[in-house]
């Protein structure tokens, strides 16, 4: 092997052996086995809708421990490739519960353009793409639009959050041109106070669009609610 092909060999081995996003050990998979087990321990025992202030929520797991750290790595450490395994777990849980005949339309919660540019991707949209790939539900990434930037939610009191989010969304181009006939499933990465999702659902309902509920990777219990 000459030095060039040696380097090439080294490089491809490096590419095949990615790092686990939680413990940084090398692994051929998205997570090492230990961390994957820890994340899966956050899964809720029974896949079901939970009614939360006018909006049913379906969550794969609880927003704490390894799942919370994974979502943080996905969003804040620029790891968009984690959308795929996470969305597939969510999809499997969804398929285990849902009646597959209902043709819901999946709409990810949009991000304001400036924030999206800063992060490089909208985590909800990536999750929705992979969720739909698995469930075969239709995806409409432009069902909603974020009409204005909002102050970071975690800096505000509960009352101010609602105010901050009033009219934060508008109907997206796709739904403005052609309103959907089926009910919408909103999709986001996490559910904390629910203010964002309620605002998004209100916008759709104001336009006569039915909203079945919100599906998320993780739902915070009251005491885990912090940064949204
Ligand atoms: Zn690990």
Write the pLDDT tens digit of every residue in 79-90: 999 999 999 999
What is the structure's pLDDT at 227? 46
Write the pLDDT tens digit of every residue in 138-196: 999 999 999 876 666 666 777 777 676 777 899 999 999 999 999 999 999 999 988 88
CA angle 185, 86, 89 (to 5 degrees): 75
Q: Does the pLDDT at position 197 exceed 80? A: yes
What is the structure's pLDDT at 228? 45
Q: What percent of the chain has pLDDT over 70?
A: 84
- 60 CA distance to ligand 1 centroid (A)? 20
Report the C-alpha gap between 188 and 178 in whole angstroms.
23
- 216 CA distance to ligand 1 centroid (A)? 23
Better pLDDT: 164 or 132: 132
- 36 CA distance to ligand 1 centroid (A)? 7
The highest-confidence range among 45-49, 58-62, 155-159, by mean pLDDT, is 58-62
CATH class of 44-224: alpha beta
- 90 CA distance to ligand 1 centroid (A)? 20
Write the pLDDT tens digit of every residue in 118-131: 999 999 999 999 99
Q: Which residues are within 8 A (CB) of 50 and not within 5 positions of it... i.e. 6 or more apart?
A: 56, 57, 58, 59, 219
What DSSP designation does 139 have?
A: B
Q: Quick one: which of 73, 162, 80 has its CA closest to 124?
A: 80
Q: Which of 27-31, 62-66, 94-98, 163-167 has the lowest mean pLDDT?
A: 163-167
Other Cβ atoms closer than 10 A to 137: 21
Taking the complete model, does pTM exceed 0.75, yes or no? yes
| CA 45 and chain centroid, separation | 20
What is the structure's pLDDT at 156? 72
Q: Does the pLDDT at position 2 exceed 50? A: yes
Count of residues making up the chain: 228
In the chain the first and final C-alpha atoms are separated, in Å, by 52
What Cα–Cα distance (Å) separates residue 110 from each residue in 98, 136, 197? 24, 21, 10
- 29 CA distance to ligand 1 centroid (A)? 10
- 167 CA distance to ligand 1 centroid (A)? 41
What average pLDDT does the segment 207-214 reach?
96
Domain residue limits, the chain: 1-40, 44-224
- 129 CA distance to ligand 1 centroid (A)? 25
For residue 36, give both structure tokens: 């994957």
Better pLDDT: 57 or 103: 57
Q: Quick check: 205 and 124 in contact, CB under 8 A? A: no
What average pLDDT does the segment 15-44 reach?
92
């Amino acid at each position: 092997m000459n030095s060039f092909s040696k380097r090439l060999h080294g490089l491809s081995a490096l590419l095949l052996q990615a790092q686990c996003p939680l413990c940084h050990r090398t692994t051929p998979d998205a997570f090492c086995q230990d961390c994957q087990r820890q994340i899966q321990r956050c899964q809720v025992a029974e896949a079901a809708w939970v009614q939360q202030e006018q909006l049913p929520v379906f969550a794969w797991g609880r927003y704490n421990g390894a799942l919370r750290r994974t979502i943080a790595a996905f969003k804040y450490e620029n790891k968009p490739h984690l959308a795929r395994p996470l969305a597939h777990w969510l999809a499997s849980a969804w398929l285990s519960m849902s009646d597959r005949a209902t043709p819901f339309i999946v709409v990810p919660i949009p991000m304001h353009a400036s924030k999206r540019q800063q992060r490089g991707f909208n985590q909800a949209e990536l999750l929705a793409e992979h969720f739909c790939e698995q469930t075969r539900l239709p995806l409409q990434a432009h069902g909603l639009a974020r009409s204005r930037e909002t102050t970071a939610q975690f800096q505000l009191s509960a009352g101010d959050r609602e105010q901050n989010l009033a009219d934060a969304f508008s109907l997206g181009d796709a739904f403005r041109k052609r309103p959907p006939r089926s009910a919408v499933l909103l999709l986001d990465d996490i559910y904390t106070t629910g203010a964002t999702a309620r605002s998004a659902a209100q916008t759709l309902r104001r336009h006569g669009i039915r909203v079945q509920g919100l599906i998320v990777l993780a739902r915070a219990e009251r005491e885990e609610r912090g940064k949204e």
